[in-house]
Amino acid sequence: MIISICVPCYNEEENVVPMYERLKQITSKNKKYNFEFIFTDNKSTDNTHQLIKNLSLKDKRVKGIFLSRNFGSESSGQAALNFAKGDAFIALSCDFQDPPELIPKFIKEWEEGYDVVMGSYTRSKDNIFMDIIRKIFYMVFKKITEITVPINVTGFGLLDKKVVLALRSLPEKFRFARGLTAWVGFKQTLVPFKRNKRLRGKSSYNIFEYIKQAERGFFGFSYLVLDLMVYGGFLLTLISFLFIVGYLYWVIFVNIPFNASIPILLSIFFFGGINLLGISVLGKYIQVIVEETKNRPMYIVEETVNMKD
């Protein structure tokens, strides 16, 4: 049996070789399985590409997938998922924030019958602000969707082959991997761990990347925002009608001078903002539809090494 370990990379020249050495050391203690190490390079601008190639020449277990440009973290992860040959698939980041030493525990849980084994951090040395933002996102995501994604997960975990095949069968391109993993179901469990700081180098992830991830989650799994627009539109229409009736009553029966400029001006600003917000939300859903109907691939592979087919 084979276990595929995937390490997505982007400008990780300081971490690629240490990660390989760590994986080699950890997996050498397990004689029960064969391992393949899949490094997916998202068109790095440093020496990451060449280092992966050097490792692949030295060790045939090292496989390289080199994308034609930076298609984003979701695409590099999906590329590894599509190329993996293993009976189980393990994903972890190349920056050592997710400890590779947890791999044996993932395998043990898998052997006990779990199809999805996800790492859930109990404490993180990551940026406090970003950590809070992530927790808020998953709390909101849990409330507005019909699926449950654990709050403190990062994608670090193990998937059984049948889960991998289920994820491969999903045709959508606008993907949110953690949401899809929860959506496909199967028997799932969590393994707690302490998340470390990035060991070397600088993260390419920023607030805009997290916003993109949040959009993929919200617009890919929930229609609550559209429902709120419908209910909100009905409520505002009712309030506007009552306001007009009330204002006319004051003018006719209480003899207050009629001054239409103030309510008209306030109404224009208020409903203009509501309309703009509503159109923006609809635009986001239309964007998802457009991305799917284009039917473009999530990524383009420029080169592979040690891949037989």
- pLDDT higher than 80, residue 5: yes
Task: Note whether residue 219 is domain-resident.
Answer: no
> pLDDT, tens digit, for every residue of 98-153?
888 888 888 888 888 888 888 877 766 666 666 676 667 666 666 666 676 766 77
Taking residue 50's Cβ as centre, other Cβ atoms within 10 Å add up to: 13
Q: What are the angstrom distances between the C-alpha of 17 and each of 24, 54, 83, 198, 298? A: 10, 10, 21, 15, 27
Domains identified in the chain, total number: 2
Report the run of H or E that residue 226 belongs to, with start and end. Answer: helix 224-253
Cα–Cα dist 159/66, whole Å: 23
- pLDDT higher than 70, residue 227: no
Q: Is the dihedral of CA 227, 230, 233, 237 positive or negative?
A: negative
Q: Identify the pLDDT of residue 85.
A: 85
Residue 89 near residue 161 (C-beta atoms within 8 A): yes
State the residue range of the domain holding 191. Answer: 2-204+297-305
Task: Note whether residue 216 is domain-resident.
Answer: no
Does 246 lie in the same domain as 121?
no
Does 275 lie in the same domain as 177?
no
- pLDDT higher than 80, residue 37: yes
